[in-house]
Chain A
Amino acid sequence: MQDLDKALAEIGAIRTQLARSETFHGLGPTAFAATGVLALLVAIGEARWMPDPGPHAAAFLTVWIAVAAISATVIGVEMVGRSRRLHSPLADEMIVAAVQQFLPAGAAGVLITAVLYGFAPQALWAAPALWQICFSLGIFASCRFLPRGMLLVGAWYLATGVGCLALAQGAHAFAPSAMGLPFGAGQLLVAAVLRFSSPRDA
Chain B
Amino acid sequence: MPEPAPFAYEGLDRVFHERARLGVLTSLAANPKGLAFSDLRRLCGLTDGNLARHLQTLQDAGLVEVTKNFERNRPLTLCRITPEGRARFLEYLDVLDRVVREAAAAAKSETTEGPLSGLAPA
List the interface of chain A (C-beta within 8 A of B): 1, 4-5, 7-8, 11, 14-15, 17-18, 20-22, 89-90
Contacts and interface: CB of A to CB of B under 8 A. Distances in A.
Interface of B: 26, 29-32, 90-91, 93-94, 96-97, 100-101, 103-104, 107-108, 111
Given A11-B100, A18-B30, A20-B30, A1 B108 contact: yes
A90 B87 CA distance: 11
A17 B31 CA distance: 9
A7 B100 CA distance: 7
Nearest to B104: A4
B30 A1 contact: no
Nearest to A17: B30
Contact of A11 (B91, B97, B111): B97
B13 to A, nearest CB: 15
B101 to A, nearest CB: 7
Interface SS of A by simple majority:
helix
A90 B91 CA distance: 10
Contacts of A22: 32
A152 B63 CA distance: 36
B93 A11 contact: yes
A89 B104 contact: no
Given A8-B97, A11-B96, A22-B32, 4 more contacts: A4-B104, A8-B104, A15-B93, A89-B90
- Across chains A and B, which 3 residue pairs bring their CB atoms closest together, nearest first? A89-B90, A4-B104, A17-B30
Contacts of B100: 4, 7-8, 11
